[in-house]
Structure 1
C-alpha cells in the first residue's frame, strides 16, 4: 500500500522531521565545504582508468588468438562499460562534479557510452525520478512502465508475462532506458514538432552508438571482425545485466516504500528527505563492489544527496545510518543476493492477480512478498480480519498506538 501521510507512518512529529532535515543539511554542508582536490583527483583518475581498461581490453580481443584472450578482453570491456555508465556517466549526469568547472566533466556536456541520450535521461531521471521518488503516477521509474511492483498498480492480464518481461528488460536494459527517457521527454513536449525532434535526436544517438559497436570497430578488425562483434555484443549484454541488477536492488526490495500524490501536499525539504529515506534501499558492498556499482549500493545516500560526489557516499552512509537509529527510521539494506531475491520474488508474485485482502493468512506461513508497509498491513488484517484498519493506516488516520505498533514491526526488519 502506498503511504499518504509520511510523518504518521514514520511516527515522527513535525518538529522531529524538521530536526532531521537540519541534521541532513549539516551533512550536505560539511561535504560541500570539504570537497576539493581529493574529489577532483578521484573522478579524473576514474575516467583515466576506465579509458585505459577499455583500450587494453579491445587490444586484447584484437591481438590475442585463443579463447582465453577473448574472454579476458570481453570481461575487461564489460567492466569498462559498467564503470563508464555507473560511476562516471550516471554521476557526472547528476552534476556531482559540476563544481569543478571542468568543460569535459559536466552534466550538460557528458554523453555516455550507451544507447540512450544523456539529455533525455537527465530530465526523466534527475527530475521526474529524484524529485517525485516513488510517487504513484508521477515517478515513471516505478516499474519503468512495464513491471508491476506494487499492489497499488491495478492488475492487468498482461502482467502474467512480467517474469519474462523482467528477463527481457534485464538483457536489453540500455534500450529500455532509452525508450523510457524518450517517452518522458515526449510527455512534456508542447508540440508535435518538439516530440518529433526528440525522437530524431534519439535515433541519431542510436545510429552513432550501434555504428561504433557493431559496424566501425568490427570493420577495423578486418578478417577478425566476428571476434570483435561478438565481444561487443557480450560486453553490452553483461553491462546491461549489471546495471539492471544495481538499479532494481536500489528501488524494489522489501522496505522501499511507495507514496500517493497526496503525500506531496505541503511537503517541505525535510519531508522530502524523509520520503527519500523511506523509498530507497541499499545493498552491502565493499570498496570494489561499491566502485563497480557507481556507489549506488548507497542508494539511500544517493537519493538524499544526488549531486554530491559519489566517492563521499561511504562516509555519508555512516552518518545517515546513525540518524536512522536516532529517529527510529528504517535503514533498508542487505546483501546483494538478498536484495535481488526480494525484488525477483515481488515481481513474480505481482504478476498474478491480487489475493482477497480479507483472507486470513495463518501465522505459520511466511509473509507474502512485498514492501515493508504491505507486510505490516497484511499482519494487521490477519489479526483483526478488518480491512478498514489497514485502510486507516494507509490513509494515516490511525491512532498513535497503531502507529507505534507499525513502528515496532518495522524495526525487526532492519539488517
Structure 2
C-alpha cells in the first residue's frame, strides 16, 4: 500500500457500503472477541506492578552507584508499560464502567508516571474520531514537526526551522517526549475540558515532587541529573517508537475528506508484524487497525481479530497495510523527509 501523504479517493458509500462495518462487527462479536478478559489484566497489572516495585527497590538499595543508570533505563521501559496500561483503561478494555477506569487511569497516569489522564483522554479521543485528519487530529497538528506538504508550505517558526531536517531529528526529539508529557499535563490544568483539575493537579505534583526529592536525596546531584535525563529519554523514545509506526506515513485527510468509519480507520492506520515479543512491547498497539476499529477490545483479542479484519478488507477491496517494525519506522521517516521538501526548497530559494 502506498504511504503517500495524499488521502485516497473517497467513495460516497451506498446503502451496501454503509453497512460494511456493521457486517464486520457482527463477525467480531460472533467470534467472542469483545468479551472482557479479567484474568489477563489481573496478571498484566500484577507483573507490571511488580516490575515497578523492583525497579524502585533497586534504586533505593543501590544508592550512590553508577549502576543507577541501568536502573534508569529499566524504569523508563516500565513507565512505558504503565502508559500502555493507562491506555487500555482509557478505552475501557479493563473495566466496562467509566468510574473504575478513571480511578485506575488517574493512579497510573498522574501519580504513577506524571502524565495527565484527563489531558491525554481529551487528546486521544479526538485522534480516534478523526485519525490523520490535519484539522481534527491533534496528533498531526504542526506543533514542532510537519506531517504533510500543505503544512510544510504554511510552516513558520519552530516547525519551519526543524522541518527541513525533521526525519533525522525525529528520534533525537523523542528523548524529550517524556518531559513534554509532564509539561503538557501541567499546562492542561488551566483548560476548561479538565473536569477534575484539582485532583489531577494534586496527583501530578505529588508524582513530580516525590520523583525529584527521591532522586536528590538518594543520589549526588550529578548522578541524579544523569538518572533523570536517561530515565525520561528512554521513556520518551519507547513511547514514540510504539506510537509513530501506527499512523505516520499513512494517508492524511484534509477539509471535507471524510470516508466512512471503516475506511477512515483502516486506510490511515498501519499494523506492525511480529510475534509475542512485539505484542508485549507494543501493548497490542501493533494491531493498530483492529484497535481503531474496536477500541474497547481487550488487547490479547486483537491478534485474533486481525485475521477476520484482514480477510474482510480483502473481500470488500479495502487496502490493508502491515509491515515489520523496522520497516514501519523507515516508512515514517521517509514520509517526514518527503513532506519537509517544501521547507528545504524555500530555504534554498531564500539563501
Work out whether 1:22 is the aligned partner of 2:22: yes
Pick one of 256, 259, 267 that aligns with 1:262. 256
Pick one of 76, 91, 94 that aligns with 2:91. 94
Query: Cα distance 1:232–1:275, how it changes in 2: closer, same or farther (>3 A)?
Result: same
Query: Cα distance 1:117–1:93, how it changes in 2: closer, same or farther (>3 A)?
Result: same
Work out whether 1:245 is the aligned partner of 2:227: no
Aligned residue number for residue 35 of structure 2: 35
Deviations along 1:289-324, one digit per CA (max 9) or x if unpaired, are 211212111111111111111121111111111112
Deviations along 1:211-262, one digit per CA (max 9) or x if unpaired, are 222223542x3x6686566445423321210111111110113xx2212331
The answer as to whether partners of 2:171 and 2:237 remain within 8 angstroms in 1 is no
The answer as to whether partners of 1:182 and 1:199 remain within 8 angstroms in 2 is no
Per the TM alignment, residue 74 of structure 1 is displaced from its structure 2 partner at its CA by 3.4
The answer as to whether partners of 2:177 and 2:237 remain within 8 angstroms in 1 is yes
Aligned residue number for residue 79 of structure 1: 77
Work out whether 1:136 is the aligned partner of 2:134: yes
Pick one of 43, 53, 56 that aligns with 2:54. 56
More deviation in 130-139 or 207-216?
Answer: 207-216
The answer as to whether partners of 2:284 and 2:300 remain within 8 angstroms in 1 is yes
In the aligned structure 1, how far is the partner of 2:185 from the partner of 2:76? 23
The answer as to whether partners of 1:169 and 1:176 remain within 8 angstroms in 2 is no
In the aligned structure 2, how far is the partner of 1:119 from the partner of 1:196? 6
> Unaligned regions of 5+ residues in structure 1, if any?
357-415
Aligned residue number for residue 277 of structure 2: 288
Residues 99-118 of structure 1: pairs in structure 2 closer than 5 A: 99=96, 104=100, 106-107=101-102, 109-111=104-106, 112=109, 113-118=112-117
Query: Cα distance 1:177–1:206, how it changes in 2: closer, same or farther (>3 A)?
Result: same
Query: Cα distance 1:352–1:288, how it changes in 2: closer, same or farther (>3 A)?
Result: same
Per the TM alignment, residue 85 of structure 1 is displaced from its structure 2 partner at its CA by 0.8
Per the TM alignment, residue 141 of structure 1 is displaced from its structure 2 partner at its CA by 1.1
Residues 177-326 of structure 1: pairs in structure 2 closer than 5 A: 177=181, 194=192, 204=202, 206-219=204-217, 221=218, 230-253=226-249, 256-264=250-258, 271-326=260-315
In the aligned structure 2, how far is the partner of 1:179 from the partner of 1:225? 22
In the aligned structure 1, how far is the partner of 2:195 from the partner of 2:309? 42
Q: Any idea what SS the aligned residue of 1:258 has?
A: coil
RMSD over aligned CA atoms reads: 3.4
Pick one of 326, 335, 338 that aligns with 1:349. 338
Aligned residue number for residue 368 of structure 1: none
TM-score normalised over the length of structure 2: 0.80
Query: Cα distance 1:228–1:48, how it changes in 2: closer, same or farther (>3 A)?
Result: farther
In the aligned structure 2, how far is the partner of 1:54 from the partner of 1:225? 23
> Unaligned regions of 5+ residues in structure 2, if any?
346-351
Aligned residue number for residue 121 of structure 1: 120
In the aligned structure 1, how far is the partner of 2:252 from the partner of 2:187? 22
In the aligned structure 1, how far is the partner of 2:173 from the partner of 2:61? 33
Q: Any idea what SS the aligned residue of 1:145 has?
A: coil
Query: Cα distance 1:280–1:34, how it changes in 2: closer, same or farther (>3 A)?
Result: closer
The answer as to whether partners of 2:76 and 2:234 remain within 8 angstroms in 1 is yes
Aligned residue number for residue 377 of structure 1: none
In the aligned structure 1, how far is the partner of 2:312 from the partner of 2:231? 40
Q: Any idea what SS the aligned residue of 1:35 has?
A: coil
In the aligned structure 2, how far is the partner of 1:310 from the partner of 1:213? 30
In the aligned structure 1, how far is the partner of 2:66 from the partner of 2:31? 44
TM-score normalised over the length of structure 1: 0.69
Q: From the CA coordinates, give the structure whose radius of gyration is larger.
A: 1
The answer as to whether partners of 1:2 and 1:260 remain within 8 angstroms in 2 is no
In the aligned structure 2, how far is the partner of 1:144 from the partner of 1:40? 39
The answer as to whether partners of 1:78 and 1:238 remain within 8 angstroms in 2 is yes
In the aligned structure 1, how far is the partner of 2:135 from the partner of 2:103? 27
